[in-house]
Amino acid sequence: MSKQFDVVVIGGGPGGYIAAIRAAQLGMNVACIDEWKNDKGGPAPGGTCTNVGCIPSKALLQSSEHFEHANKHFADHGITATGVKMDVAKMVARKDSVVKQNNDGILYLFKKNKVSFFHGRGSFVKAADGGGYEIKVAGAAEETLVGKQIIIATGSNARALPGAAFDEVNILSNDGALRMGAVPKKLALIGSGVIGLEMGSVWRRLGAEVTVLEGLPTFLGAVDEQIAKEAKKAFDKQGLKIELGVTVGEIKNSKKGVSIAYTNSKGEAQTLDADKLIISIGRVPNTIGLNAEAVGLQLDERGAIAVDGDCKTNLPGVWAVGDVVRGPMLAHKAEEEGVAVAERMAGQHGHVNFNTIPWVIYTSPEIAWVGRTEQQLKADGVKYKAGTFPFLANGRARALGDTTGMVKFLADAQTDEILGVHMVGPQVSELISEAVVAMEFKASAEDIARICHAHPSLSEATKEAALAVDKRTLNF
Ligand code: FAD
């Protein structure tokens, strides 16, 4: 006997579980299917983000930052810390318990919102009566679900490098990188994107000699150039070796470790020997096991599920959100799409503004931005004014002992509307929200410059950068 629902969501990551909760809030009878298993084989909803992405990476970044502070910065405060040691197993166990709290939190939220949860793989099958389709759940028990509407939120998987399959022992994806049981002496990374930089930072802080190989000639090409340069300077100073413009050749994996042949930007043949290699060259949309082709679900040329601006697929009543569709592969983008789709199903006007999605890299210094970069504005022929303010001139940053970086505002030359805000420095992952709100409300730089900001706070750097657009900083 099949079970009937208003909505069946396939995938319980940030896109899926949030869509399920919002749909339930709007009065729909909702099922959410997720196949992720914890170490004991039980359910672990939350997807990549909760299990092997956003949350565990931030837990390890926090632990490794404490370690670095104890070793390198406590002395500045007059604190003597001798014999500081890192127990990697304990750090990883703490990370696992943070993940579990989040898994349990989602199961609790499902109960609270009366979302029926099914643990297993969901796949499309043609309906027994020949019309439409049903969702078969293959888990501990087999179930068949019928939804008036279906949301696919099956996420993404790490992209593998041809000839260097992930064994999660020596050649690691994000999954293995978050589970290492000891600090490798030498760690190689291929790819200097968000994930590569965050993982490289964790293990460098714990004592690994880290080399990042990047194929592109520019560092963080999507980031505002001035901000990327400032960040690169900080990473160089920390000893994170980043080689740009390389071409990776043969990768040999043996019991002793990994040997990577590559050509550097000068065209010279090089070999990098490492104990472990993390490959972080992007992610591929995940439609494995959905049986999409059997029901004619259309994919695009990247293998993502093809959707229109409202997240509708080519199949009537079937929607798709998050990493499995076009757009930035970010948890908050997936969540916003999930909410918007649930609201559209209820006849409301769900909306996602792609121009104001914030980006954050949780390294130290952190990097955060929203809107267009200076190079994009130039390419688009937009006339703009720029203002920057360094954390060096911010009292709170000096008190914190972390004065790296700056805040940069880009505003329309005529109207003063904020077009982009770019930050590198302490806690900018939090500071960027002010810029997102300002851009959502189409604020001008002058609006931010005239708002009273608490003193002393890092947010004063935001106000001062807005003042800098009009060349009237007060503290620099
Ligand atoms: P996912 O989170 O991938 O969830 C999909 C879920 O669907 C999974 O649980 C999967 O098991 C399940 N599933 C798949 N197929 C089926 C099926 N057929 N049946 C049942 N279940 C199925 N983003 C940020 O915004 N901030 C960050 O700081 C950040 N850090 C990251 C760090 C790392 C190391 C990585 C790898 C990613 C990070 N991301 C971050 C990206 C973020 O994790 C993703 O953008 C986000 O998880 C996408 O959400 P989703 O719901 O689309 O998919």
Residues 222 and 308 placed together within one structural domain of the fold: no
Pocket test for ligand 1, best of 22, 37, 38, 54 (most atoms within 8 A of CB): 54
Residues 152 and 65 in one domain: yes
pLDDT, residue 377, reads 98
Identify whether residues 12 and 39 lie together within a single domain: yes
Q: What is the pLDDT of residue 108?
A: 98
Does pLDDT of 140 surpass 90? no
**What would the pLDDT profile of 392-448 be if each residue is shown by its tens digit?**
999 999 999 999 999 999 999 999 999 999 999 999 999 999 999 999 999 999 999
Rounded to 10°, the helix 88-112/54-68 angle is: 140
Domain count, the chain: 3
C-alpha 224/C-alpha 326 separation (Å) is 22
293, 316, 346 - which closes a domain:
346
Closest-CA residue to 211 (of 169, 241, 177, 175): 241
- Which band of pLDDT confidence, cut at 50, 70 and 90, is reported for residue 215? very high
Q: What is the pLDDT of residue 311?
A: 98
pLDDT computed for residue 473 by the predictor: 98
Co-location of 316 and 334 in the same domain: yes
Task: Reply yes or no on whether the pLDDT at 20 is more than 80.
Answer: yes
Q: Residue 138 C-alpha to ligand 1 middle, in angstroms?
A: 20
218, pLDDT greater than 90: yes
147 within a domain of the structure (yes/no): yes
Q: Which residues are annotated as a binding site for FAD?
A: 58, 122, 154-156, 323, 329-332
* Separation of CA 313 and ligand 1 centre (Å): 20
C-alpha–C-alpha distance, residues 458 and 395, integer Å: 8
Is the pLDDT at 239 greater than 90? The verdict is yes
| pTM of model > 0.95 | yes
If you average pLDDT over residues 62-86, what whole number do you get?
Answer: 96
Lowest mean pLDDT of 113-122, 127-136, 165-174, name the range. Answer: 127-136
Q: Same domain for 143 and 292?
A: yes
Task: Give residue 129's pLDDT.
Answer: 77
pLDDT band at 141 (very low <50, low <70, confident <90, very high): confident
- Does position 192 have pLDDT exceeding 90, yes or no? yes
Domain annotation covers residue 256: yes
Q: Is 16 in the pocket of ligand 1 (CB under 6 A)?
A: yes
Cα→Cα distances 53→13, 31, 46, 287, 448, Å = 11, 24, 10, 19, 33
Q: What is the average pLDDT across 165-177?
A: 96
Q: Are residues 119 and 7 in the same domain?
A: yes
455 is catalytic: yes
Q: Considering 261, 281, 301, which residue would you say is the last residue of a domain?
A: 281
Q: What is the pLDDT of residues 299-343, one digit of tens each?
A: 999 999 999 999 999 999 999 999 999 999 999 999 999 999 999
Confidence of residue 294 (pLDDT cuts 50, 70, 90): confident
Is 388 domain-assigned? Answer: yes
Using a 10 angstrom Cβ sphere, with 0-12 exposed, 13-18 middle and 19 or more buried, the burial of residue 222 is middle
* pLDDT at residue 23, rounded to an integer: 98
- What the block records as the tokens of 286 is 């995940």
Domain membership of residue 461 (yes or no) is yes
Residue 204 located in a structural domain = yes
Residue that has been written with the tokens 């077009």 in this structure: 419
Give 191's Cβ-side CA count (13 Å radius): 20
Average pLDDT value for residue range 214-236: 96
Q: What is the pLDDT of residue 1?
A: 79
pLDDT at 131: 75
- Is 153 within the bounds of a domain? yes
- Looking up residue 127, the CATH number of its domain turns out to be 3.50.50.60
Residue 369: give its domain's CATH number: 3.30.390.30
Q: Which residues are annotated as a binding site?
A: 58, 122, 154-156, 191-198, 214, 282, 323, 329-332
Do 340 and 439 lie in a common domain? Answer: no
Strands 116-126, 30-34: pairing is parallel
Q: Distance between CA 226 and CA 373 in Å, rounded?
A: 9
Give the per-residue pLDDT at 138. Answer: 96
Reply yes or no on whether the pLDDT at 114 is more than 90.
yes
pLDDT at position 117, please?
Answer: 98
Residue closest to 378 by CA, chosen among 346, 410, 400, 350: 410
User: Is 300 found in the same domain as 152?
Assistant: yes
Question: What interface predicted TM-score (ipTM) does this complex get?
Answer: 0.99
Edge-to-edge strands of the sheet including 269-274? 247-254, 257-263, 269-274
Within-domain flag for 163 = no
pLDDT band at 243 (very low <50, low <70, confident <90, very high): very high
Tell me which residue range forms the domain holding 190. 171-281
Residue 174 near ligand 1, beta carbon < 6 Å: yes
